[in-house]
Amino acid sequence: MKPQVLQVARRLIEFPSVSATSNVSISEYIASLLERGGFAIERIKYRDAAGVEKLCIAAKLGKGRGGLSLTGHSDVVPAPPEGWTASPFKARVQGGKLYGRGACDMKGPVAAALCAALRFRPGQLRAPLYFICTADEEVRARGAREVVRNSRLFREAAGGYGLICEPTRLRVIHAHKGSLHLEIRSRGRAAHTSTLKGVNANIAMIPFLAEMKKIYELVLRSPRYRNEEFQPPQSEWSIGINDHNIATNVTPVQSVCTIRYRPMPGVDTEGLIRRTRELAQRHGLAFKVHWVGAHLYTPPDSPLVRLALELTGTRSSRSVPYGTDGAAYAKRMKHLVVLGPGDIAQAHTVDEWVEIDQLHWAEELYARFIERVCTRLP
């Protein structure tokens, strides 16, 4: 008996797989469903920055390379109970909607993709079907980066088509922005502020911040940093500052500036990084690149996008300003679209929900994708 999408989605929600905790239990549950469906399973394990054990699953049905990959993630953002009508990790159904943390982002979509994949058997396939579910998508796509780096099955799949099953209301997304995270630090010397013997780390940071304001204005105003395929067509050079001071009568011993930016196709991200590094060095500050996530871009006239439009019955694909695991996958997998049930506006919200009809439609859509890509002759 094949699993039912609502049943699987409810079970996934009941795993409290917040990114700061281990996702091993939910990953093993997903792996058990796939194993019973005849998939070969690859487990990609790692420990996060806090030493917490994480597990990504890559699975394969059929033989060969390429084919079709359905991808998702098992982690969710925190769900403080304040404001929730019921427990965030107790799934409930009301008014045609499934409620619970991750219902939309993205345990509902993962359930739809799982149920579609489990309809098929190896003998039906002429090209392989892959299923990839990661940890830490909400933490700079850490799990996807581990998959790209260490998964044999992902290397096999990379030449084929990939569906990132994040919520898009089943609209075809051919592009999303990337991500950039920089950190700049100055060091001072602590002392009681009455003594004038301290060195205030913030003072060293101020001239650098003035330079960052220039870049902030540049990326918002210059045509070089715009891409009209996106709304908005530019990205903010988002500047954060914190000295983490222990008391107001102690000279700040450190000053930390964080830069976040969402690069788009055609934007010289490396030039922005280089300019910021040079300015930091000029002002005697420590500079670190924490993360550069690639943008996702599959040409709107590509065979994958055309197929997705045909199967969804829509006329044109879109771009979105947020990111997905595609920031990691796009380095090796060149044919990717984002396509999933639910509305991104519901992601990360109190009383998060997804329409149950969307889950059923998504399951049928993913099954049609598998039929077209994996069960027919080229």
Residue 126: both structure tokens together:
């002429």
CB atoms < 10 A from the CB of 288, how many? Answer: 11
Q: Yes or no: say if 113 and 33 are a contact pair by the CB < 8 Å rule.
A: no
Q: Closest Cα partner for 43 from 154, 189, 185?
A: 154
**Alpha-carbon gap, residue 183 to 290, rounded angstroms:** 7
> Residue 171, SS3?
coil
**Tens-level pLDDT at each residue, the chain (378 residues):** 678 999 999 999 999 999 999 999 999 999 999 999 999 999 999 999 999 999 999 999 999 999 999 999 999 999 998 999 999 999 999 999 999 999 999 999 999 999 999 999 999 999 999 999 999 999 989 999 999 999 999 999 999 999 999 999 999 999 999 999 999 999 999 999 999 999 999 999 999 999 999 999 999 999 999 999 999 999 999 999 999 999 999 999 999 999 999 999 999 999 999 999 999 999 999 999 998 888 999 999 999 999 999 999 999 999 999 899 999 999 899 999 999 999 999 999 999 999 999 999 999 999 999 999 999 654
Last residue of a domain, one of 258, 293, 328: 293
Domain endpoint, select from 244, 261, 293: 293
In a shared domain, residues 96 and 192? no
- The pLDDT assigned to 308 comes to 98
**Among candidate residues 278, 293, 308, the one where a domain is terminated:** 293
Q: Tell me the CATH number at 289.
A: 3.30.70.360
**Helix 5-13 and helix 356-374, axial crossing angle in degrees, nearest 10:** 110
Residues 69, 162 share a domain: yes
**In a shared domain, residues 170 and 184:** no
Question: Same domain for 96 and 38?
Answer: yes
DSSP helix, strand, coil percent of the chain (3-state; round to 5): 35, 25, 40
**54 and 15 housed in the same domain:** yes
- 195 Cβ neighbours under 8 A, 6+ residues apart: none
**Residues of the domain holding 60:** 5-176+295-374
Q: Both 57 and 188 in a single domain?
A: no
Are 192 and 276 in the same domain?
Answer: yes
Predicted TM-score (pTM) of the model is 0.91
Place of tokens 């609502």: 6
Q: Are residue 70 and residue 159 in the same domain, yes or no?
A: yes
Query: Does residue 333 share a domain with residue 279?
Result: no
Q: Do residues 139 and 14 both lie within one domain?
A: yes
Provide the domain count of the chain.
2
What pLDDT does residue 3 have? 83
Distance CA 176, CA 326 (A): 9
pLDDT for residue 1: 63
For residues 124 and 196, state if they share a domain.
Answer: no
283/311 same-domain check: no
CATH code of the domain in which 26 resides: 3.40.630.10
CA 53 to each of CA 25, 45, 48, 72: distance values in angstroms, whole numbers, following the listed order:
11, 7, 7, 19
CA-wise closest residue to 347 among 6, 79, 71: 79
pLDDT in tens, 143-190: 999 999 999 999 999 999 999 999 999 999 999 999 999 999 999 999
